[in-house]
Structure 1
Amino acid sequence: MKTRLSLGAKLAIGLGLLLAVLLQLLPFYITVTTSLKAKSDLSSQWLFPFGDWYLQNFATAVQQGHILRAIGNSALVTVVSTVLVCVIGALAAYPLARRATIGNRLVLAGIVGLIMVPPLSILVPLYSMLVQMKGVNTYWGTILVMTAMQLPLAIFLYTAFMRGLPISIEEAAAVDGANAVQVLFRIVFPMLKPVTATVVILTSVAVWNEYALSVFLMRSPELRTIAPAIGTFFATSSSDLGAAAAASLISVLPVLVVYLVLQRYFIKGMVAGSEK
């Protein structure tokens, strides 16, 4: 039996959604207004500079902050890490989803527990290990760390999604003569597009915006990723908020494009994972 909402309830829901949207857009609005004002402009950040835009902040972000080079570094780390997370996560999730043994349940519980471990709590041993491996100030060291940090959530999402897939399709393929590897790559993996889009977006955004670990692992100016590069505009004595805001707007464009392309699959994957 469907429950019909009253006009007052509909208005309350609409106002609540509008408030939530405004709260989400507020930081973006402040970033835009700050990026279009000169450092000497002491007007309120709430006031939009109509007709008086200071575009030098974007030039400063590119020339002094080397934000384009940082975007290239972040793109390399993000793309490789995301691919590794998707491949390894799907391979690890398949036996966890299809073999409901006590051991697999304990393994999955341990993986879920790893999601709640703060990355900074393991910074000291992690940094010491990378120093011994000569992985500090290298792309492969950072990619290895980012992949390991994002794998637990990816495995959890893939496992939850695979449990909802009908096993009869795999059994039919096996009857037709397909081996386990063929079933996995030709039958199972093509059906993982929605959850893979979810993993791609969550992983890429997390790696793209990561600061706490990147600032220690990529200390060389030539290897800085986006977040540490933006951090160079902040200093104890003075800060260039306009250039930092401009660099933030430039760096958010690639992620925004990826999300707009994959948003339909992202929503499907999140809903499918939440239902398990």
Structure 2
Amino acid sequence: MRWVLTIVALVVTLFHLIPFYIMITTSLKANNDFSSKWAVPETLQFSNFVEAWEKANLGTAFVNTAIITAGAAILLIFLGSMAAYPLARRNTKLNKGVYFLFISIMVIPPLTALVPLYKMVVDIGMMNTHEIAILNNLAAFLPLTIFLYAGFIRSTIPKELEEAAKIDGASTLVTFFKVVFPLLKPVTATVLIISCVFIWNDYQFAIFFLQDNDVQTLTVALASFFGQNQSNLNLVASAALMSMLPMTILFLCLQKYFVAGLSSGSVKG
């Protein structure tokens, strides 16, 4: 039975690797190479990556996307964990109400607030700024972050550690940052992977709020680049391959914490 499961797992893995194989082979082909998408190129055209980087202005897009993703992720980790801590430890009616309010917000599609949000952003003069993109993503992922952190704290971290710190004279804030926060690595990795991947690949908000070329993110830059190069998919594949590498590396580095953090953080309290 075990070998059957192994074969099934290999087949599923190979099935998911097919798009990456096609993207890699396409990115390395010359523009006049019309061979099958399954065929390995006879001559590897690494110049496609240089040309795509320059034509799509990926350098600026990478910097903008990195600033927005890193800024939102840092705020999510600190604000989400600090908000989840009292919700997980103080079992009052008010805290229960606040917690379930955050949970209920998770089922509301973010795009339903797009029209009033767009009007508000225009009125306060924050169009085409990194700050509005960071705040949008913070608001979109904060309920999920609090949900995961609160569940992880309840199910994984024993209260005795905090009680011992308080006996030694530590304040609540010191107890959180010195005792609790260092133990949140698995769920923090989960929050990073989930939020960073979605923020890095965000298109629906970026296309509305980041319209200037100087603040465009990778998804917006790639969308316009694809329209200009419909006949040259080699450059498009090269640009797409470069844009996905950072999140792929992030996932590979944090994957050992991902399952543990997600399963523990999803425990309902």
Following TM superposition, where does structure 1 have runs of at least 4 consecutive aligned residues deviating by more than 4 angstroms? none
Residue equivalent to 2:162? 170
Residue equivalent to 2:82? 91
Residue equivalent to 1:245? 237
Selected match of 2:21 from 26, 29, 39: 29
RMSD: 1.9
Aligned-residue offset at 1:72: 1.1
Distance 2:74 2:216 in 1: 21
Preserved CA contact (<8 Å) 1:146 1:207: yes
More displaced stretch, 155-164 vs 55-64: 55-64
Distance 1:94 1:81 in 2: 20
Residue equivalent to 2:66? 75
Preserved CA contact (<8 Å) 2:229 2:235: no
Match of 2:33, SS state, is coil
Return the letter of the residue paired with 1:84.
Answer: L
**Aligned residue pairs: how many?**
267
Distance 1:98 1:183 in 2: 13
Residue equivalent to 1:124? 115
Q: 1:23 to 1:107 in 2, by over 3 A?
A: farther
Match of 1:233, SS state, is helix
Match of 2:101, SS state, is helix
Preserved CA contact (<8 Å) 2:68 2:130: yes
Q: 1:257 to 1:53 in 2, by over 3 A?
A: same
Distance 1:38 1:116 in 2: 46
The yes-or-no answer on 1:56 pairing with 2:51 is no
Residue equivalent to 1:5? none
Residue equivalent to 1:109? 100
Unaligned runs of 5+ in 2: none
Structure 1 length-normalised TM: 0.90
Aligned-residue offset at 1:237: 9.0
Return the letter of the residue paired with 1:104.
Answer: N
Percent identical pairs in the alignment equals 41
Preserved CA contact (<8 Å) 2:229 2:236: no
Q: 1:236 to 1:179 in 2, by over 3 A?
A: closer
Distance 1:10 1:67 in 2: 46
Q: 1:66 to 1:255 in 2, by over 3 A?
A: same
Distance 1:227 1:150 in 2: 19
Distance 2:199 2:15 in 1: 24
Distance 1:237 1:181 in 2: 54
Distance 1:120 1:158 in 2: 25
Return the letter of the residue paired with 2:83.
Answer: A
